[in-house]
Each structure stands twice: as C-alpha cells, then as structure tokens.
Amino acid sequence: MKASLTVSAVQQPCNADRQTNLDYSIAQIHAAAANKADLVILPELHLGPYFCQNEDYNHFDLAQAIPGPTTAILADAAKQAGVVIVSTIFEKRAPGLYHNTAVVFDKDGSIAGKYRKMHIPDDPGFYEKYFFTPGDLGFTPIQTSIGKLGVLICWDQWYPEAARLMALAGAELLIYPTAIGWDMEDTEAEQQRQLEAWVTVQRGHAVANGLPVIACNRIGFEKAPDSDKGIQFWGNSFIAGPQGEILSRATATDDTLLTWTLDSARTERVRQIWPFLRDRRIDAYADITKRFID
C-alpha cells in the first residue's frame, strides 16, 4: 500500500432515478479527487433505490452487464479524476444468473477486478436471495495501483471469516459498500442496538486483522412498493484504523464525503505489537468449516 493513502467514502441518498444518482456519485468522486483522495468508495447498489424490498421479477430489468454502460462511465470518471473507485452494480452475468457485484476501477480507468457478494440475506425488506446468486470469486483481494483492496459487500460485514480470509490473502484495507437501515416499526432502543452492533462488528474486524476498515452506507427513507412501510437507511458511514479506532464517522442523515489519510507504516506497526496472525492455532480450527458441531 502507498505509504500515505487518502481514502473517501461517499454517503449519499440513492432514492432518485439512475442518472441522478450516478451524476451525484460522479460529482462526489471529483470532489474527493480535489481533496487529494486516492480511493473513493460508493454505497452498495448506488445507482437506484434498494429494489430488494419485495420479490418482483420486473426488477431484473435493472441489471446490466460488466463491462457495460455504467462501468464505462465510471471508468472514465476514475481516469479523469485520477482515483481508484469501488462501485457496486446489479450484474446480469447470463440469462437467469445475476449477482451483486463490486467493481474496482484503477486510476487509469481500467477494471482492476470484481468481487461478487458471497453472503446473501433473506430477511423482511431484504429479499436478496430472490435476485442474487452467491458469489463465486472467493475472498480474493483486488490488486490496484494503490495496494490490495479487500472488498466485501454489506451482509458480508457480519462475518469474521470473510474479513479474515481477505486479510490472509494480503488485503491491506477492508472495504464494505453497504445498504443497511432500520425497520421504522422497531423501537428507538432497538434501532440503536442494531446500529451499534453494525459499527462494533466491523471495528472488531479491524482489530482482529490489524487493518483499516471503510464502511460506506446510503441515507434516506425508501418506501417499500405497495406499502406504507420501508427502510430508513441509517448512514453512519465510517473509517476506522487498524486498532478499531474511529477516524471519521458520518451522521445518520447527512450526505457526506468522509475523507481520511491512512498511514501504512502505522498499520504495520499495529500488526507487530498485536501479532494475532502469528498466534493463530491453525492446527485446531478444522471445525470452522462445519455448519454446526453436534
């Protein structure tokens, strides 16, 4: 990784039409570049409203190929701004085969690599199993001109195995584009517990792996189709250091461009003083691949 790496997370609303959302993202990419950013993260599925609130086959029309029209636009934005971009796109891989896919664009506009979301939720308001096939690219960091990026997506952020495997494969950052929010029927206390659990588990990944973490969420209320219910996306995007310390955190409601400069030498030093990878008992972990230990 670069000795000094400036990273930005774009916290934005995504409840408008595709062009409006994309124009906003690109404007923020250029704003980040003006702040000397090397890396810009966009929220999960930032091109439009979160369509997985119901199981409607018409939503498959939103998917597109990779490479495709949106990747061409973002590749041009990466080249013009001279930044690495992480975007997520509803990928149409083949008829009947769709993924939730992160695409990483290098500073020259090339596609450095892809990551297909591995953990797919199926909860009220988050019916992703209807739309997305689980990823098949594994937990493989993406090599870019600024370093190896461990890109994961939303539901992946709850799983320590995913973060660990990215770290073991050489990731120098853990990155989580996200679309997560509250059920407005939950109590305020329950909403707060959920939010803090989300922040805490990702800070734990930073600590356990000695790596910075960037979580980039959307904001705003998005009404469910044919219902008065919906999701209030809770924002709170953040950048954490390798000891889990919060370096920068957004509010629940503001469209925000978080920016922070990371020190790779400090990350290495943290791993030296807290050598968790050294002390792993890999001889005793075989049961981790089982669904349940009877």
How do strand 173-177 and strand 181-183 relate by DSSP bridges?
A: unpaired
Helix (H) or strand (E) holding 10: strand 4-11
Tell me, yes or no, if 2 is annotated catalytic: no
Please tell me which residue in 128, 154, 172, 222 is annotated as part of the active site: 154
Please tell me which residue in 44, 91, 172, 222 is annotated as part of the active site: 44
Chain-centre distance of CA 197, in angstroms? 17
Cis peptide leading into residue 95 (ω within 30°): no
Tell me, yes or no, if 79 is annotated catalytic: no
Cis peptide leading into residue 160 (ω within 30°): no
Please tell me which residue in 52, 107, 117, 128 is annotated as part of the active site: 117
Tell me, yes or no, if 154 is annotated catalytic: yes
What is the C-alpha separation between 183 and 177, in angstroms, rounded?
20
Which residue shows structure tokens 């044919």?
Answer: 226
Largest CA distance in the chain: 56
Helix locations, 122-263, DSSP H: 160-168, 188-209
Residue numbers annotated as active site: 44, 117, 154
